[in-house]
DNA sequence: GAGTGGTCTAGACCACCCC
DNA sequence: GGGTGGTCTAGACCACTCC
């Protein structure tokens, strides 16, 4: 059932097995899982190891515990996907659309005072400024401007930018993205936005300003996006307390 | 330093002490915490107990760990507040505004087919329908409609509704709110919305649809809100992976 | 090599829930 | 009372980082 000599941690293997049972429907919403002691006996591991697996699934929102009663499969199956911080690329894919980009501008400029303060760098430090129209199934969805300190992402090219920056940062540069703060507001399209997004002037648009941080708290980028109101709704799943 | 005979768990006491040291500035952003073994020795507890305290602080975003190196205080201090699922009341308070409500409608009606499906109840089951104008410092911020299965919140009164429903649900009914899915979009004010919110027709508004679930996965309520675009920005803090 | 966090064990006692 | 999850112990070996 589990491989104790595997490089994968035991708790992770147990976690995946229980997750698989929930996904496949062997365990249905509302069902009680076996007790921690039963799993420990079954897998021939200590109860603390089972607890680590189960606690991870609780924080993923797949199961929940009731003191003195047991552990149960969560009811909701819907919208399980839209947890956490996602890139435009991931966002489009989860909606079943094919993401692409049209590069408008790609340059290195000195940071303005405002940008420097936000990114916690010195004024005039070089930053990448990337302006892109972002498309889903070849239809314009958003106009996006990214500002990233140049020294954090050395070797950024137009080709990378045409795809996913997050993918490059995480998989090639091996930087660990931690969190982001987002501010979302409603506005009407300016003339420039209307032309770039191919919509009538004064149409509703969703303005999203994001500041992304690496896991160690270093600001990675500022993003300003203007999403077409008729083509895009922002969806998010949040938990009480955190 | 800690009280082992206290009803409060030891890990919680340690957690609070470290949190206090961060808040008070004894531990500054970027500082390395003492190692888990040192804390265990210092508090005369097992290392696993220390780990539980530290892991909780990591998931709160106050500190982060680096394999083989140590545990460090997070850099960001800003926007620490706007984590997690908040009620309108909590939201306004965190912005330094005094929340209040103007009740427009408070009635019990049979659930429509759409509502019944969303709330996973039978069609025609009684539900509360609550329409309120929500104000911050006596200025209209949003127009909100809540729909809640009547059997979940027996004893709901106009007085409760004039304050905070979440507060009543959690503290009086002792129900545990778990999570919510939210859909946010941009629109322009209809004539009705414009009048209720005291803004010009066609002004930008932020539409927020929320479905809230209890911890055991039972749908608690549907909320549709129309926020004034000029007075309200939606802010959120999200983590990568979750 | 010394120190760090990551994982794991084999027990233990407690409070809580349900019968 | 019997079962459940919550907390806790006193060890252990590992992979990783930094010097």
Q: Give yes or no: residues A87 and A198 share one domain.
A: yes
| Protein CA B173 to sugar C1' D5 (Å) | 23
**Which of B 39-78 have CB under 7 A of nucleic chain D?**
44-49, 52, 66-69
Exposed, middle or buried, B146 (CB in 10 Å: 0-12/13-18/19+)? buried
Q: Please give the Cα distance from A237 to B88 (Å, whole number).
A: 17
**How many of the other CB atoms lie within 10 Å of CB of B200?**
10
Q: Give yes or no: residues A38 and A131 share one domain.
A: no
Residues facing A109 on adjacent strands: A127
Q: Give yes or no: residues A96 and A216 share one domain.
A: yes
Tokens 């799993």 -> residue:
A39
User: What CATH number is given to the structural domain containing B193?
Assistant: 3.40.1410.10
Q: Please give the Cα distance from B237 to B217 (Å, whole number).
A: 23
Domain, as residue range, for B207: 88-228
Q: Give yes or no: residues B188 and B97 share one domain.
A: yes
Which residues of the protein have their beta carbon within 7 Å of strand C? A 4, 9-12, 44-49, 52, 66-69; B 33, 35-38, 47-48, 51, 65-71
Counting the structural domains of chain B, the total is 2
Q: Give yes or no: residues A217 and A130 share one domain.
A: yes
Q: Give yes or no: residues A41 and A117 share one domain.
A: no
φ/ψ of residue B132, rounded to 5 = -140, 145
Residues facing A101 on adjacent strands: A134
- The encoded tokens of residue A208 equal 């999203």
Give CA angle at A218 (A216, A223), nearest 5°. 130
Q: Which residues of chain B have pLDDT under 70?
A: 76-84, 240-242
**Which of A 32-91 have CB under 7 A of nucleic chain D?**
33, 35-38, 47-48, 51, 65-71
- For A87, nearest residue in chain B (alpha carbons): B240
Q: Give yes or no: residues A52 and A117 share one domain.
A: no
Q: What pLDDT digit, counting tens, does each position of B84-118 carry?
A: 677 888 889 888 899 999 999 999 999 999 999 98
Tens-digit pLDDT string for chain A (242 aa): 888 888 889 999 999 999 999 989 899 888 899 999 999 999 999 999 999 999 988 888 788 888 888 999 987 644 444 566 778 888 888 888 999 999 999 999 999 999 999 998 999 999 999 999 999 999 999 999 999 999 888 888 888 888 788 888 877 777 777 788 889 999 999 999 999 999 999 999 999 999 988 877 788 999 999 999 999 999 887 776 54
Q: Give yes or no: residues A60 and A106 share one domain.
A: no
Buried b (16+ CB within 10 A) or exposed e, B155-165: ebeeebbeebb
Q: Give yes or no: residues B131 and B170 share one domain.
A: yes
In a domain, B2, yes or no: no
The model carries a pTM of: 0.77
- The encoded tokens of residue A192 equal 């420039």
In a domain, B35, yes or no: yes
Q: Give how far A106 is from chain B: nearest CA, Å.
A: 26
| DSSP 8-state secondary structure symbol assigned to residue B171 | I
In a domain, A235, yes or no: no
Q: Please give the Cα distance from A219 to A118 (Å, whole number).
A: 8
User: What CATH number is given to the structural domain containing A37?
Assistant: 1.10.10.10
Q: Give yes or no: residues A69 and A102 share one domain.
A: no
């Amino acid at each position: 059932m589990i491989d104790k000599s595997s490089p994968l941690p035991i708790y992770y293997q147990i976690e995946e097995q229980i997750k698989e049972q929930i996904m496949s429907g062997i365990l249905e919403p509302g069902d009680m899982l076996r007790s921690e002691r039963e799993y420990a006996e079954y897998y021939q591991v200590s109860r603390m190891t089972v607890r680590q697996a189960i606690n991870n699934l609780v924080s993923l929102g797949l199961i929940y515990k009731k003191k003195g009663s047991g552990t149960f499969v969560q009811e909701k199956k819907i919208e399980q996907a839209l947890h956490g911080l996602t890139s435009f690329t991931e966002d489009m894919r989860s909606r079943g659309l094919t993401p692409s980009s049209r590069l408008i501008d790609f340059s290195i400029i000195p940071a303005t005072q405002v940008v420097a303060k936000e990114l916690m760098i010195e004024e005039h430090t070089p930053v990448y400024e990337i302006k892109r129209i972002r498309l889903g199934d070849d239809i314009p969805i958003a106009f996006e401007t990214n500002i990233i300190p140049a020294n954090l992402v050395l070797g950024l090219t137009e080709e990378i930018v045409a795809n996913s920056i997050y993918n490059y940062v995480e998989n090639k540069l091996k930087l660990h993205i931690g969190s982001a703060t987002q501010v979302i507001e409603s506005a009407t399209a300016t003339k420039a936005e209307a032309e770039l997004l191919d919509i009538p002037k004064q149409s509703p648009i969703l303005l999203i300003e994001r500041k992304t941080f690496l896991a160690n708290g270093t600001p990675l980028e500022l993003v300003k996006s203007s999403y077409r109101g008729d083509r895009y709704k922002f969806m998010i799943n949040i938990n009480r307390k955190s």
